[in-house]
C-alpha cells in the first residue's frame, strides 16, 4: 500500500500484487531496473580498484534525495536506506526501492529498531525515538560509500560498530573528491538528529541547486 501510494520518478513503481496459491505468498510486481543497484556498482569498482566519477555520484544522489523527499512529505519513513536499495537504469537514472520495513508515522516519531547496521543512525542504535532525520543519516552513509567504496563506519563486531556510529567520527573521503562533497556528507552525518538537514534543505544547498540546473535544464524552478 505504501509503494502504491507513491508515484514519483525517483521511486521504483508498483505494478501489481497477487497471492501465489500454492504457497499463499503475497507477490509484488515491481518496475524492472535494468542496471542493477548501487551496491553492485560499488562492488564492481572495488574489483577494478578505481573510483566512481564524482559527477555520477552527484547525479544519483540528487535523484535519491528527491525520492526520499516523496516519502517524507507523506510522513513515511524508509527505515532501510542503503546502497543495495537504490536501483539503477542504463541511463544512470536512480530510483529508491525495497520498502519492506517502511512505516507511516502518525505521531511523528518511531521506536522500532530496523534497518541495516552499517547505515543505522545513532538514535536507532541507542533505541531512541527517531524520525525522517534517521533516513538522512543513512543516506549520508550511502553517499560516503559511493565515494570511498566502503561504509563510513566499520568494525569487527556489533559493539565496535555501535561505538563508532555513536561517536560519529569517520575517515575523510578520498582526497580527489571535492570539498563540497565532503561538506554535504558531514552535514548529513551529524550525531544529533536536530543538526541534520531535511530533504528540502539538502536540495536547496548551492552545490545541489547548481548541479540540478545542469542535470535538469528543462525543469521549471
Q: Is 80 a catalytic residue?
A: yes
- According to DSSP, residue 51 is labeled P
CA distance 13 to 6: 8
CA distance 61 to 190: 18
- According to DSSP, residue 22 is labeled T
Which residue of the set 37, 80, 98, 135 is catalytic? Answer: 80
* 148, 174 contact by CB (below 8 A): yes
Enter the C-alpha cell of residue 87: 536501483
State phi, psi for 24 to the nearest 5 degrees: 60, 30
Question: Residue 71 burial (CB < 10 Å; 0-12/13-18/19+)?
Answer: buried
Residue 18 forms beta bridges with which residues? 27
CA distance 141 to 151: 6
Enter the C-alpha cell of residue 61: 544522489
* 142, 201 contact by CB (below 8 A): no
Q: Could you list the active site residues?
A: 80
Amino acid at each position: 500500500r505504501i509503494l502504491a501510494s507513491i508515484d514519483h520518478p525517483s521511486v521504483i513503481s508498483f505494478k501489481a500484487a497477487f497471492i501465489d496459491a500454492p504457497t499463499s505468498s503475497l507477490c509484488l510486481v515491481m518496475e524492472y531496473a535494468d542496471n542493477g543497484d548501487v551496491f553492485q556498482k560499488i562492488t564492481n569498482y572495488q574489483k577494478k580498484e578505481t573510483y566512481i566519477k564524482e559527477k555520477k555520484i552527484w547525479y544519483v544522489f540528487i535523484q535519491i534525495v528527491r525520492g526520499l523527499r516523496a516519502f517524507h512529505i507523506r510522513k513515511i519513513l524508509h527505515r532501510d536506506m542503503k546502497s543495495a536499495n537504490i536501483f539503477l537504469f542504463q541511463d544512470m537514472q536512480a530510483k529508491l526501492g525495497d520498502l519492506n520495513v517502511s512505516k507511516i508515522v502518525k505521531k511523528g516519531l518511531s521506536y522500532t529498531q530496523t534497518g541495516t547496521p552499517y547505515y543505522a543512525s545513532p538514535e536507532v542504535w541507542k533505541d531512541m525515538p527517531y524520525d525522517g532525520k534517521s533516513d538522512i543519516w543513512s543516506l549520508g552513509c550511502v553517499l560516503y560509500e559511493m565515494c570511498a567504496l566502503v561504509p563510513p563506519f566499520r568494525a569487527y563486531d556489533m559493539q565496535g560498530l555501535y561505538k563508532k556510529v555513536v561517536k560519529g567520527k569517520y575517515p575523510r573521503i578520498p582526497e580527489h573528491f571535492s570539498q563540497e562533497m565532503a561538506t554535504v556528507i558531514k552535514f548529513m552525518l551529524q550525531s544529533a538528529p536536530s543538526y541534520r538537514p531535511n530533504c528540502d534543505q539538502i536540495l536547496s544547498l548551492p552545490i545541489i541547486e547548481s548541479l540540478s540546473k545542469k542535470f535538469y535544464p528543462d525543469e521549471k524552478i
